[in-house]
């Protein structure tokens, strides 16, 4: 699922798949999209990878730009999960991979709305994992640094980001094949977390710690409730 383009159709043809062009900022159209996709077969793996950033000083951002960032990066994944998780539960299988960002951990300059959307996506995924932990569904959060895309190049061209990118010497850039392989491995092995590049993994691990503690606390509380019943 992505916006219609020659590149999208070319990739679908190359891998022998089907392309479903859509605009994820149109939340009202998501239900019809799900019906269209599932008419061709069940969705066993949902990867929420679409994103926009609109990098730049926050006070220069328009309401439309802010709304688009929050809608595409956070609200669309939330509603796609709302629409698809009941179907996955009914089938007794399913895996959701939400592509978050290291920007949702460290909040770089020029990416205030983007960082907020990705931090929200990480927390949303943790909430899904808590709500549906006793089901056959699986959830993976991917915290990704820089990867070779046009959107990333735009972010790295922004003043403060440009300086940091120059100092990193490329250590924060993950090649696309490495990123794709990590996501596929997570689905195959039911990995809860993917953190790339490795040099930035400790930051994401630190951000995840309160959520991990929460899972342990509520797991213990649930066990106590079961013993009382």
Mean pLDDT of 21-44: 96
Q: Do the beta carbons of residue 140 and residue 67 sit within 8 Å?
A: no
List pLDDT tens digits, range 99-156: 999 999 999 889 999 999 999 999 999 999 999 988 999 999 999 988 877 777 777 7
Q: What pLDDT was estimated at residue 167?
A: 67
* Range(s) within the chain of domains with CATH label 3.40.50.720: 42-228
Residue 226: band (very low, low, confident or very high) from pLDDT cuts 50, 70, 90: very low
Token pair belonging to 175:
């090649």
More confident residue, 45 or 166: 45
Q: What pLDDT was estimated at residue 78?
A: 98
Q: What pLDDT was estimated at residue 2?
A: 58
Please confirm, yes or no, whether 114 is among the known catalytic residues: yes
215: exposed, middle or buried (Cβ count in 10 Å: 0-12, 13-18, 19+): middle
More confident residue, 156 or 207: 207
pTM (two decimals): 0.88
Angle at 40 between CA 185 and CA 15, to 5 degrees: 45
Q: What pLDDT was estimated at residue 64?
A: 97
Residue 172: band (very low, low, confident or very high) from pLDDT cuts 50, 70, 90: low
Mean pLDDT of 20-36: 95
42-228 domain in CATH 2.40.128.130? no
**Residue located via tokens 């020659």:** 6
pLDDT for 89 beyond 60:
yes
pLDDT for 87 beyond 60:
yes
Catalytic pick among 114, 124, 139, 179: 114
What are residue 98's phi and psi, to 5 degrees? -105, 120
Q: Do the beta carbons of residue 55 and residue 49 sit within 8 Å?
A: no
Out of 55-59, 62-66, 120-124, 216-220, least confident range: 216-220
pLDDT for 71 beyond 70:
yes
């Amino acid at each position: 699922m992505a916006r219609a383009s020659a590149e999208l159709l070319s990739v679908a043809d190359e891998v022998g798949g089907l392309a479903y062009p859509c605009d994820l900022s149109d939340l009202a159209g998501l239900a019809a999209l799900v019906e269209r996709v599932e008419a061709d077969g069940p969705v066993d793996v949902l990867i929420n990878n679409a994103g926009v950033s609109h990098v730049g000083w926050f006070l220069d951002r328009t309401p439309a730009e802010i709304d688009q960032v929050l809608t595409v990066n956070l609200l669309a994944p939330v509603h796609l999960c709302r629409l698809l998780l009941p179907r996955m539960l009914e089938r007794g299988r399913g895996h959701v991979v939400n592509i978050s960002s290291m920007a949702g951990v460290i909040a770089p300059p020029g990416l205030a709305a983007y960082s907020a959307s990705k931090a929200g996506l990480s927390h949303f995924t943790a909430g899904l994992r808590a709500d549906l932990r006793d089901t056959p569904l699986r959830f993976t959060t991917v915290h990704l640094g820089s990867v070779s895309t046009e959107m990333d190049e735009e972010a790295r061209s922004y003043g403060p980001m440009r300086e940091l990118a120059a100092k990193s010497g490329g250590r924060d850039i993950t090649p696309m094949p490495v990123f794709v392989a990590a996501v596929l491995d997570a689905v195959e092995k039911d990995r809860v977390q993917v953190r790339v590049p490795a040099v930035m993994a400790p930051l994401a691990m630190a951000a995840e710690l309160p959520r991990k503690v929460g899972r342990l606390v509520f797991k213990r509380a649930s066990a106590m409730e079961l013993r009382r019943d």
